[in-house]
């Protein structure tokens, strides 16, 4: 009888472990809420953020950052360009930050120790919308990471994404639009 009871306990434990593993796999990743005081998600971006105008980065605010996050990264790109065009790469933003102010300095390392990457204009920092024709979408993606990334200033989007591999805790996005004037 002890052997039979032991087998039942072992089988029950295995079943519980499998159910727990399945539940973990189906767990939804936390979504970061990303907002800008300059424009609402899906709406037109003001001219002041455009490349051929003032070319200033929009203020961004976020919440719902996981407690285990150490840093944040932001990538802004235009998926409507002939090939996806990167407008902004910034990483190692301290996870304690609640946002970025408008008109971020174009320096490699900011006072917060955040680091700018290089965009597809070949510049450090933000360069705004510059659609060749029509209306384009500009996707601001935020990523919460469980580590500080060991990337030098000027890293590309591809280098950032590779360095982020296996460290993603949560993400979110904000989409603005801009039309050629």
Listing DSSP states for 1-65 in one string gives -HHHHHHHHHHHHHHHHHHHHHHHHTPPPEE-EEE-SS--TTSBPPGGGSTTTT--PPPEEEE--
Residue 92 backbone zone (phi > 0: left; psi -120 to 50: alpha; other: beta): left
Regions of the chain where pLDDT drops below 50: 1, 5-27
Strand partners, 74: 90, 142
Q: Of 11, 126, 25, 147, which is closest to residue 76 (Cα–Cα)?
A: 126
pTM of the model: 0.84
What pLDDT score does 180 carry?
Answer: 87
Per-residue confidence (pLDDT) for residue 181, from 0 to 100? 80
Tokens of 94: 């301290």
At residue 34, the pLDDT reads 98
**Given this structure, which CATH class describes domain 29-179?**
alpha beta
State the pLDDT at residue 30: 76
Residue 4 has a pLDDT of: 53
Distance, in Å, from the CA atom of 141 to the CA atom of 90, rounded to the nearest integer, reads: 11
Q: What six digits make up the tokens of 141?
A: 């993606």
Q: Give me the pLDDT at residue 24, please.
A: 43
* Residue 179 DSSP one-character state: E
CA triple 91-95-101, angle to 5 deg: 70
């Amino acid at each position: 009888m002890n052997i039979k009871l032991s087998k039942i306990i072992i089988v029950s434990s295995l079943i519980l472990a499998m159910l727990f593993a399945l539940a973990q796999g189906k767990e939804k990743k936390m979504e970061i809420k990303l907002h800008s005081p300059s424009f609402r998600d899906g709406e037109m971006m003001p001219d002041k953020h455009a490349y051929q105008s003032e070319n200033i980065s929009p203020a961004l605010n976020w919440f719902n950052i996981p407690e285990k996050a150490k840093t944040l990264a932001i990538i802004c790109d235009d998926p409507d360009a002939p090939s996806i065009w990167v407008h902004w790469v910034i990483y190692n933003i301290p996870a304690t930050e609640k946002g970025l102010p408008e008109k971020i300095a174009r320096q490699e390392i900011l006072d917060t120790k955040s680091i700018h990457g290089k965009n597809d204009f070949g510049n450090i920092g933000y360069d705004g919308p510059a659609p060749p024709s029509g209306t384009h979408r500009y996707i601001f993606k935020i990523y919460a990471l469980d580590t500080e990334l060991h990337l030098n200033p000027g890293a590309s989007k591809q280098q950032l994404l590779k360095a982020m591999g296996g460290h993603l805790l949560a993400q979110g996005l904000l989409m603005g639009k801009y039309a050629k004037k």
